[in-house]
Amino acid sequence: MIEKPLVSIIVPCYNAEKYMEACINSVILQDYENWECILINDGSKDNTFDLINDFETKESRIRVFTQENLGLSATRNKGINNANGEFLFFLDSDDILSNDAISTLVSSFQNNDIITGVTIASTFSNDNINRVSQLLHPKEGTITFENNHFEVLLRTMETGLTPVAQNRLYKKYFIDKNEIRFKSGILHEDELWFFETMLLAQNVKFINNETYFYRIDNQDSITKNVGDRNLESYIQIMEEILKKYSQHKRFNIIANWYAVYIKKIFLDFAIRDRFKLSDQVISRLDSALKNNYIPLGNEHILSKNNDLYYKTINKLSLQDFNTIQKYFFRNPVNSLRKIMNVFKISYFLK
């Protein structure tokens, strides 16, 4: 690798005029200089396009593209396809980078396909960053997974790692070689992107350095406005994982287990936000769970408690939604009530 590789920072921009200046300035102020910033206006209806065009005229390393509104996945894919860098980095238009984010990630490179820094969920007031919490990161802080046996996905199923696309330095050769792109037309596209990149990557490194500040006080964010499309997107992600990988000789076992992990996520969401969801999408949920059921078999790829938990949730997914609501619980299996639910699901629900 060359000493100072070009890093392509991809920023999808949609109706983000309130946040764009802070976001772009955090790129311009990087202490690492060999970057290009690809700003893609995704059919914004506010002044986003004019604002980013103004930045392009002042900074030669900024490149601006515009398109009709196609959504986040198609916009990021356009960024990938137009990137010249040896590395890719995704930055959301309402977030900001630490001044040493890119230099820290590049200097940590050790023949990795993916390097991830620490993301801090934050609120912003004037020029101050108010740290609220840290997104899930390996407990070791800095660690490299050879990932020959899908260790990152297993760790995610065991203890959770935040499945986001941003704040990761991706080797572009790895992304292009495996033809990995974001799935268009869905929400929560990062869930599928995370699965596919961590399924195929080797030498995945996490470092214990704060490099990214994620805005949690944006009221227009997808996380603030949920409904049928969120659940439908989760279902499509489960279906995509099973369709592409459940019959694959090398990937089938991890894909089948991870599909249950996705089930767990969207069942929890559907139960928690049932009042925001239509009967039609709940009916779609029932059908999708039954039509995409795959027994987990006799493989034991997780710890004893999580092995029991995911097999139990998988069996529960064969029931109608009302029954699932009654018996569903979050992992781990660590209380008498949960043990009783496991027993009921295993022996009485047919």
Domain boundaries, the chain: 7-222, 226-347
Tokens of 48: 């986003």
pLDDT value of position 219:
60
pLDDT value of position 73:
97
User: What's the fold here for domain 7-222?
Assistant: Spore Coat Polysaccharide Biosynthesis Protein SpsA; Chain A (3.90.550)
Rounded CA-CA distance 130/65 in Å is 32
**How many degrees, rounded to 5, is the angle at CA 131 between CA 161 and CA 266?**
35
CA-based nearest residue to 184, from 74, 92, 79: 74
Q: Summarize the confidence of residues 262-279 as an average pLDDT.
A: 96
pLDDT value of position 126:
75
Q: Summarize the confidence of residues 223-232 as an average pLDDT.
A: 86
pLDDT tens figures, 185-209? 999 999 999 999 999 999 999 999 9
Does residue 170 contact residue 113 with C-beta atoms inside 8 Å? yes
Tokens of 348: 């009485």
What share of the chain in percent tops pLDDT 90? 87
Characterize the bridge pairing of strands 168-171 and 128-134: unpaired
Residue 1: band (very low, low, confident or very high) from pLDDT cuts 50, 70, 90? low
E strand residue ranges, the chain: 7-13, 35-42, 62-67, 87-90, 96-97, 114-125, 128-134, 143-145, 168-171, 204-215
Tokens of 243: 């369709």
Cβ-based neighbour number of residue 310 at 10 Å: 22
pLDDT value of position 348:
80
Residue 299: band (very low, low, confident or very high) from pLDDT cuts 50, 70, 90? confident
CA-based nearest residue to 104, from 115, 90, 119: 115
pLDDT value of position 258:
97
| DSSP-based three-state secondary structure for 195 | helix
Does residue 19 contact residue 47 with C-beta atoms inside 8 Å? no
Does residue 21 contact residue 50 with C-beta atoms inside 8 Å? no
pLDDT value of position 297:
84
Cβ-based neighbour number of residue 342 at 10 Å: 20
